[in-house]
Amino acid sequence: MNRLGDALSPYLQQHADNPVDWWPWGEDALTEAKRRDVPLFVSVGYAACHWCHVMAHESFEDDEVAARLNDAVVSVKVDREERPDVDAVYMQATLALTGQGGWPMTVFATPDGTPFFAGTYFPREHFLRLVDAVAEAWRDRRDELLAQGAAIVQACAAAGPELADVSRSCPIDGPCPPVSPVGTDVLDKAAQAVRAAYDRENGGFGGAPKFPSQPALAFLLDHYERTGDGTSLSIVRHTADRMARGGMYDQLGGGFARYSVDASWTVPHFEKMLYDNALLLQTYTDLSELTRRPFFARVAEETARFMVDALGTPEGGFASALDADTGGVEGATYAWTPGQLRDALGDADGDFAAHVFAVSDAGTFEAGTSVLQLPVDPEDLDRFHDVKARLRRARDRRPQPARDDKVVAAWNGLAVTALTEYAAESRSDWADAAADAAARLLAERHVVDGRLRRVSRDGVVGDAAGILEDYGAVALAFLARYEVTEDDVWLERAGALLDVVLSDFGDGNGGFFDTGAGAEELVTRPADPTDGPTPSGWALAARALSEYADHADSEEHDDAAWRALAAVAPVIESHSRFAAGLAGAAELMVVDESD
């Protein structure tokens, strides 16, 4: 029996008609595995994930695969966006076993959740052989699997970056010293390390696939504002220009895709995530303010409008994502041929559009199609805006990607902050109204008995507890609303969330766990200070504590921020590119020690 029909998550509901006897993650699934004395099969993904859809079509909709799974294991579906704690535990195991991770994530575990095998996408025939091998090993070599699982958990529990001991410099009963928690020499070296990965030709960091790495961009802007170092600003400016002129950016509808499959930002992986667009809206707003370039202001406005128009929900929040696929075909909504442009616009304007948007007969994507780019703004801007609007209307008549309309607390917090700052810079009442509505949804629906819930959908809040990134991002959102409204209720709401951070998430040494003290106990308790596509929960919490301390004149919260950042100074120094969120937060707490 498939048990996903009543799930809050759209991703789980996508699998509700599978012949696999899926269970949602929870104690009931673990109890069933113990009762049957079989392993767990834990499949982790998210609604906008292209390869998750591929594996679903190949394997989970297949009767033979389903029969093997139903006989050999208890199958559990996890939406990584709803349960990032579960995802983090099993991603750590996947990385430990294979050296790489991704989604869909494929994990086999003992009935108590201890992983003994992990991977990502498997083609149907390979997956069938894997299920049979796991069943055989569980029957005939179970002791080996149990030993391997125990070793994986032990290794994951012992893993983690080196942290500084701050117990002497700033004991828990305080006070902290009047110096920077992370020295300016460390922050300057961190900026140099981030800049060393800069792609001088295309912008961004590293090669293909290339992600926006917004926490790194934000840190470089913070570094520029403290030091006046023009190199940091020029790297962000060049990267932002190249991203927004490439296929990574939706040239018709605004908004950014999750990443580019190439180093030149030409062809995206087409899903569009709320968190990327919220963070990049902040970057383009900051660049618009710093450089006064109309191009950055235009991209900021189009991204803000995309968030409000395409991701806004009737309850006032923001949906999580737009899918990569349309009708099972990746990018079908967004790609064009020269002939399709002429069909939509007429010959003259179609040829004009092909030239402006770099659409060729050879194509840049699949089957001779191209993803629209904008290498330079055309001279005839009136014609350009007319053609762009008509082409957008033609695209709107195409089949559209599905939308994952669950509201994630952390990502909505990022959106509230970004839209609030954009509205203040651009004096946009519509953006401020959208930010206010989302903030009120978080305050009135997601805060239940003083604790944050991770997700809601259609106004109904889920059971999953908020994690550290939810508390940090939502507290920052409430502080952003306080700054523009001067309404003390937002400051009080931020303070209440940060009190929970200090009481429930602290590790006793100045740092944080990603899950609260009362959260479901998993095989390990995740605590990761490094960034993903968003700043880490640790970085968000430290920044929120510091900002709240400034507004409320709270030495307690200032000391907590100081300890949290001083503890990770070695991480900022040794893993600068992936600790940029922490480095950016530390920039805000730099103390002028010249006196």
Give the tens place of pLDDT for each residue, 65-92.
Answer: 999 999 999 999 999 999 999 999 999 9
Which pLDDT score is estimated for 48? 87
Residue 158: strand, helix, or coil: helix
Average pLDDT over residues 35-41: 97
Whether 448 is covered by a domain: the verdict is no
Up-side HSE of residue 174: CA atoms within 13 Å toward CB? 13
For 323-379, list the strands marked E by DSSP.
Answer: 325-326, 329-330, 335-336, 370-371
Lowest-confidence range among 75-89, 150-164, 198-212, 249-263? 150-164
Each residue's pLDDT tens digit, 334-369: 999 999 999 999 999 999 999 999 999 999 999 999
Residues 6+ apart with CB under 8 A from 380: none
Whether 504 is covered by a domain: the verdict is yes
Angle of CA points 3, 442, 213, to nearest 5°: 85
- The CATH number of the domain holding residue 62 is 3.40.30.10
Whether 57 is covered by a domain: the verdict is yes
Query: What predicted TM-score, i.e. pTM, was given to this entire model?
Result: 0.95
Whether 219 is covered by a domain: the verdict is no
Residue finishing a domain among 106, 131, 158: 158
Whether 485 is covered by a domain: the verdict is yes
Asked if residue 209 has a cis previous peptide bond (ω within 30° of 0), the answer is yes
Same-domain check for residues 25 and 133: yes
Average pLDDT over residues 564-582: 96
Indicate the pairing of strand 335-336 with strand 370-371. Answer: antiparallel
Average pLDDT over residues 234-262: 98
Same-domain check for residues 87 and 34: yes
Same-domain check for residues 497 and 374: no
Same-domain check for residues 24 and 151: yes
Residue finishing a domain among 345, 379, 398: 398
Asked whether residue 420 carries a pLDDT value surpassing 50, the answer given is: yes
Average pLDDT over residues 205-234: 96
Same-domain check for residues 176 and 117: no
The rounded percent of the chain whose pLDDT value lies above 90 is: 91
Same-domain check for residues 55 and 92: yes
Lowest-confidence range among 175-179, 295-299, 562-566? 175-179
Which pLDDT score is estimated for 595? 41
Which pLDDT score is estimated for 518? 87
Of 13, 36, 45, 17, nearest in space to 2 by CA? 17
Same-domain check for residues 106 and 19: yes
For 212-306, list the strands marked E by DSSP.
Answer: 259-260, 268-269, 272-273
Same-domain check for residues 579 and 538: yes
How many CB atoms are closer than 10 A to CB 72? 20
Whether 266 is covered by a domain: the verdict is no
Average pLDDT over residues 28-40: 97
Residue finishing a domain among 375, 398, 421: 398
Residue 592's pLDDT band (cuts 50, 70, 90): low
Q: Which residues pair with 40 in a beta bridge?
A: 74, 109
Determine contact, residues 471/494, Cβ cutoff 8 Å: no
Same-domain check for residues 138 and 185: no
Phi, psi of 125 (to 5 degrees): -65, -40
Only one residue has tokens 């696929």, namely 325
The rounded percent of the chain whose pLDDT value lies above 70 is: 99
Asked whether residue 594 carries a pLDDT value surpassing 60, the answer given is: no
Same-domain check for residues 130 and 108: yes
How many CB atoms are closer than 10 A to CB 295? 17
Of 529, 524, 526, 527, nearest in space to 543 by CA? 529
Asked whether residue 398 carries a pLDDT value surpassing 50, the answer given is: yes
Whether 261 is covered by a domain: the verdict is no
For 439-526, list the strands marked E by DSSP.
Answer: 447-448, 451-452, 455-457, 460-461
Same-domain check for residues 126 and 173: no
Q: Report how far residue 203's alpha carbon sits from residue 244's, in angstroms, rounded to the nearest whole number.
A: 11
Same-domain check for residues 142 and 179: no
Residue 89 lies in domain: 10-158
Q: Report how far residue 565's alpha carbon sits from residue 542's, in angstroms, rounded to the nearest whole number.
A: 7
Whether 438 is covered by a domain: the verdict is no
State the total domains in the chain.
Answer: 3
Burial of 553-577, coded b for 16+ CB within 10 Å and e otherwise, reads ebebbbbbbbbbbbbbbbbbbebbb
